[in-house]
Amino acid sequence: MDTHAPRSGGNGASRVHELLSHAPLFRGLAPEDLARIAAGTREVRAARGEAIFHRGDPCEGFHVVAVGRVKLALVNPAGDEKVVEIVGPGMSFGEALMFAGRPYIVDAIALADSLLLHVNKATLFAEIDREPALARRMLASLSVRTHMLMKDLEAVSLHSATQRVIGYLARLDEETGSHRVTLPAQKALVASRLNLTPEYFSRILHDMAARGLVRIDARDIEILDPEGLRALGAASDA
């Protein structure tokens, strides 16, 4: 057995059922429907830095993050990494490849000690046959994700580095509902997610702080002047 493989385990079906019930994708499902999905779900535990899967591995279902954070990344033969997404609690990944019957196209690495739920493909497909509303919910989730990927492509192709950082902070701000946000991972990983070097990312943040637009405390960022931040984004072309 690969010593770097994630460890699966759990405290029984009741624990898995409880964890699944908190995932936005499954909220509102009838208890009996959720119980059938839980029966085909296993816990996966991964220590910080541990691989959950690698590019090319077969996709036999999808994952939901219960605790911790996971980075999805592309790695070239030289070892250079491009972070595609940082996935936190309640978020899921792998659905599109599961439906397509394709192997994984990224590496998934735990950024912290994490607990994930792996929902088996056959179990999910059987439940979709019973409850078409679940398919509509998953389609809606995948559509939102596709929209976000298109926004990311637009940002990388058409927006300046400063605009990308401002847009990312605005997205975190919307998710938290406050003007205090926490970067979901180390600045170097967030920089890769935004297609920036870590040095350039830090320089942009410190420039914003010097202008009195934000206050930075390690990974915690307080947005002091939302209007000024938007104005900087509108004026930025570099």
Shared domain for 121 and 193, answered yes or no, is no
Domain co-membership, 62 together with 134: yes
Does residue 219 share a domain with residue 113?
Answer: no
Are 149 and 48 part of one and the same domain?
Answer: yes
Residue 2: count of CB within 10 angstroms of its CB: 7
**Is 84 found in the same domain as 45?**
yes
Alpha carbons within 13 angstroms on the beta-carbon side of residue 80 total 5
The confidence score (pLDDT) of residue 13 equals 72
For residue 57, which phi and psi values (nearest 5 degrees)?
-65, 145
Query: CA–CA separation, 74 vs 102, rounded Å?
Result: 16
Same domain, 51 and 149: yes
Residue finishing a domain among 153, 168, 183: 153
Residues 124, 46 share a domain: yes
CATH number of the CATH domain containing 35: 2.60.120.10
- In this prediction the pTM is 0.79
Looking at the structure of the chain, the number of domains it has is 2
User: For residue 207, what is the domain's CATH number?
Assistant: 1.10.10.10
Q: Provide block-wise average pLDDT over 10 residues at a time, the chain (238 residues).
A: 40 82 87 93 96 97 97 89 93 95 97 97 95 89 84 78 93 87 94 94 96 96 94 79
Please indicate, yes or no, if residue 2 is contained in any of the structural domains. Answer: no
Same domain flag for 143 and 181: no
| Domain range enclosing 189 | 159-235
Q: Is residue 79 part of a domain?
A: yes
User: End of a domain among 88, 120, 153?
Assistant: 153
DSSP assignment string, 39-90: HTEEEEEE-TT-EEE-TTS---EEEEEEES-EEEEEE-TT--EEEEEEE-TT
Residues 129 and 165 in one domain: no
Instruction: State which of 153, 180, 207 marks the end of a domain.
Output: 153
Of the candidates 91, 202, 69, the residue with the CA atom closest to the CA atom of residue 141? 91
Q: Do 183 and 107 share a structural domain? A: no
Are 223 and 163 part of one and the same domain? yes
Q: What is the DSSP string of 5-48?
A: SPEEE-S-HHHHHHHHHTSGGGTT--HHHHHHHHHTEEEEEE-T
User: So what's the pLDDT on residue 41?
Assistant: 96
**Rounded Cα distance, 78 and 176, in Å:** 37
Q: What is the pLDDT of residue 155?
A: 73
Q: Let me know if 36 is exposed, middle or buried by CB neighbors in 10 A (0-12, 13-18, 19+).
A: middle
Let me know if residue 1 belongs to a domain: no
